[in-house]
Amino acid sequence: MTHPAESPAEVPADRRELMARLLARKAAAAAVPVLPRTGEPMECSHEQRRVWLAAQAAPETAPPNVTLGLAVTGELDLPRLAAALAALVARHEALRTWYVAADGLPRQAVRPAQPVPLELVDLTCLPEPEREPEALALALAAAGERFDLERGPLLRLTVYRVGPLDHRLLLVCHHIACDGSGVALVAADLAAAYAGEELPPPPALQYADYAAWSLRRAAERAPRRLPYWRERLAGLEPLFPRLPAVPAAQGRASATARVRVGRPVVERLRGGGGDGPAGGGPVTPFAALLAAYLVLLHEISGRRDLVTGAVTSGRGRRELEPVVGSFVNLVPLRVGLDGLTGFPALLARVRETVAGALANEIPFDALVSGLGGHRLPGVHPSFHAAFVHRGDPAPPAGWAGLDVRVWEHEVDDGGFDLGLTATPRGGTYELALTGRLARFTASDLAVLAKRLAAVVEGPYLPG
């Protein structure tokens, strides 16, 4: 016999109190606990371990530094900016954490806040037409400079003066300390501190707390989820086994080519590109652009069994939203083209693949270790392509009367043979293809970027 659902008013007070206590106890048990700070080094997360191991053994495979570029017009007060930067570092432990090796693995030590490098590069001595290109060239070099993980600091701020009231700000942070989502937090706090606002107290929960909690959660989940990945990735072969190597240009490991397509084009792609709706209706922009990328990878490699590493944000819990740190994970997405008829069928298969992968997600480092076999730190031995879908970047308001906008600077230090970063920018999508110069020339990438735009605008399923 069933009973109608009781409204809150119909539930007796003692039962409501009991239910509230049970829910609170369940929430407390699931919450990320805050650890005591004793001054001793603490455990690193799987994400930190992956970045650290790559930096130690094979820097070319490590994720690129995270950057924030801002174009600033107005009376920029450098001492005030330096004070805002110091306040930012004091607020977020991950920005003042150093790393020490213990038994072949890193441990993290939170240090007291120290001065952060802030450098002024005055370019007004150059002819005006040369200032912006020179700032961009210097930013590209600065974005790729390495950090000392044992001594720190792990971020630096450079101000390029291109006019009396015109500056370009470049904040560079090691990926072990901050990820792309964390940059928005950093930008908001930096703007608020510069404007003289009193920042909220530092979050009680900091990244080191998440690291310890996430290790325990991964240890519980990995044994249950590894069988899925063993079956899913069985027999996987490298995507680019026979491409000729091209000597890399001196000083640069990668290059980037960019194209833009209109948002209406991406919306059309989501529904199948005019070939009829995908099974289950329109897919997300992530899935639609990934499907177009797979078509391009097929054209490059000739393979019909394709795999990419998709970057996920890793911030699935509300209490982690204000925390700066390295949360991103890499999830393999394997999609076969055989048996498909039309691009909508590919979209449906991509959607199914993404759903299965996210339902069985574990830290990438734990996945690769669990599968065994030879590997480079941070890189799966059987796939060399990556895909990132980012949010629309926007500078925060509140810069005390300054006019601030996003400064589009180039960062092309990638850890994969080929990577696609899709970023919505107003009414368009920017598609940035970053490739290793040991495998692609800059001209190759420019051609591939144009070809990708053509696939997005007129999608088809390879024959």
Of 162, 194, 226, the one marking the end of a domain is 194
**Does 449 lie in the same domain as 361?**
yes
**Does 353 lie in the same domain as 289?**
yes
Question: Which pLDDT score is estimated for 291?
Answer: 96
Question: Which pLDDT score is estimated for 412?
Answer: 57
CATH number of the domain enclosing 390: 3.30.559.30
215 within domain boundaries = no
**Does 289 lie in the same domain as 174?**
no
Domain of 146, in residue numbers: 42-194
432 within domain boundaries = yes
Q: Tell me the residue length of the chain.
A: 463
116 within domain boundaries = yes
**Does 182 lie in the same domain as 91?**
yes
**Does 372 lie in the same domain as 278?**
yes
DSSP 261: E
60: left (phi over 0), alpha (psi -120 to 50) or beta: alpha
249 within domain boundaries = yes
**Does 427 lie in the same domain as 349?**
yes
Counting as low any pLDDT under 70, the low residues of the chain are 1-30, 58-61, 241-252, 273-279, 373-382, 410-414
Sign of CA dihedral 287, 288, 293, 299: positive
Find residue 106's DSSP bridge partners. 101
28 within domain boundaries = no
Phi, psi of 211 (to 5 degrees): -60, -50
**Does 417 lie in the same domain as 282?**
yes
Whole-number Å distance between alpha carbons of 23 and 299:
53
120 within domain boundaries = yes
Domain count, the chain: 2
**Does 303 lie in the same domain as 387?**
yes
| Residue 426 CB neighbours (<10 A) | 10
Question: Which pLDDT score is estimated for 382?
Answer: 59
Find residue 433's DSSP bridge partners. 257, 420
31 within domain boundaries = no
Question: Which pLDDT score is estimated for 6?
Answer: 47
**Does 254 lie in the same domain as 174?**
no
Q: The tokens of 341 are what? A: 């008829």
**Does 180 lie in the same domain as 78?**
yes
203 within domain boundaries = no
User: CA distances (Å), 44 to each of 3, 179, 202, 436, in order?
Assistant: 50, 15, 20, 29
List of residues 6+ apart from 211 with CB closer than 8 A: 42, 43, 44, 45, 48, 108, 325
Q: The tokens of 59 are what? A: 């820097």
CATH number of the domain enclosing 51: 3.30.559.10
